Amino acid sequence: MNAFRSFAEQALHYFDRPHEGVCRETIESPAAWKGPEVAADRSWIAELSPSDVAELEAAVARAKTAHAELGTIGRDDFPLPKLSDRISEWSAELRSGRGFVLVRGMPVERWGEELSSIAYWGLGQHLGIPGGQNPDEELLGHVMDMGEEADDPFVRRYRTAGDIAYHCDLADVVGLLCLRPAATGGASRIVSSVSVYNELLRRRPDLAPRLFEPICLDTRNDSGTPFVPVEPCRYADGTLRTFYHSDYFRSAPRHAEVPDFTDEERDLLDLYEEIGRSPELYYDMSFEAGDIQLISNHFTLHARTAYEDDPDPAKKRHLLRLWLSLR
């Protein structure tokens, strides 16, 4: 039996966001953080203890013995009785707190890729329900430079060493496990989408309502349809949930059925991203081997700076990506 949601099921769950109306006032919440505050407060980093690691190792051994395929390992197959309380805290932080957590200390160098993958998957089962990351139902994405041309506007940029523009993924949470960091660069740039909206509202309140109307998202051949209309923002009960994907919004007018952006819409996208690039708002997170970054795609935009790999192919930057629907 599969222990994951399909790509389509996960996307439908993610986009099922409550909505009451346009948000016209500044939002005050833990998710409305700013970069300098994050840099000064390291409470978002959770260190795995030796006993946590031992519990993960025991669960990996049990799951590996009973299951031949990763996608059949469910929550009950991966018992974490002592670590579960900490995982609940991380889940709460993703659901109603800052919207991101860094879990540090998974011994990936000692475990190797196979055992690390099982541990990561099992941990994800306790946080939520994993899902496919494309119509091929890829469960763990390999984020590394595959030698593809970074200048190609339609290349999957996670398969290059180039920078990546701000975006959200089609799941409640995206996780990145660092197996090996880059030689230089490759920081994960995160920014609160709530703080970005607050600043947009302060500067151009006339543009903000457009974010609550559909914008066409280019599917880049990952769906049966060439584009999908998506409302970037939904607001209800004082909570703003945002889906934003710079490259895929901006390329949608390449399809004949999609009208070109109006001047006002271009101003909106340009200003929104300009605000996100403000050093007063974003935070650059550098990874160490064994780090797991967990990000809410409702409250956090993420990007990446370009990087350079070590000349030794065995030392190339390599992250494992996991998409989750929160339980």
Q: What is the pLDDT of residue 150?
A: 60
- Per-residue pLDDT tens, the chain, 327 aa: give them: 789 999 999 999 999 999 999 999 999 999 999 999 999 999 999 999 999 999 999 999 999 998 889 999 999 999 999 999 999 999 999 999 999 999 999 999 999 999 999 999 999 999 999 999 999 999 999 999 998 776 676 778 898 999 999 999 999 999 999 999 999 999 999 999 999 999 999 999 999 999 999 999 999 877 778 999 999 999 999 999 999 999 999 999 999 999 999 999 999 999 999 999 999 999 999 999 999 999 999 999 999 999 999 999 999 999 999 999 998
For residues 187 and 285, the answer to whether their CB atoms sit within 8 Å is yes
This prediction has a pTM of: 0.96
Domain extent listing, the chain: 7-326
- Residue carrying structure tokens 């050093």: 279
Q: Give residue 149's pLDDT.
A: 72
pLDDT, position 2: 85
**What homologous superfamily does CATH list for 7-326?**
Clavaminate synthase-like (3.60.130.10)
3-state SS, the chain, equals CCCCECHHHHHHHHCCCCCCCCCCCCCCCCCCCCHHHHHHCCCCEEECCHHHHHHHHHHHHHHHHHCCCHHHCCHHHCCCCCCHHHHHHHHHHHHHCCCEEEEECCCHHHHHHHHHHHHHHHHHHHHEEEECCCCCCCCCEEECCCCCCCCCCCCCHHHCCCCEEEECCCCCEEEEEEEECCCEECCEEEEEHHHHHHHHHHHCCCCHHHHHCCEEEECCCCCCCCEEEECCEEEECCEEEECCEHHHHHCHHHCCCCCCCCHHHHHHHHHHHHHHCCCCCCEEECCCCCCEEEEECCCEEEEECCEECCCCHHHCCEEEEEEEEEC
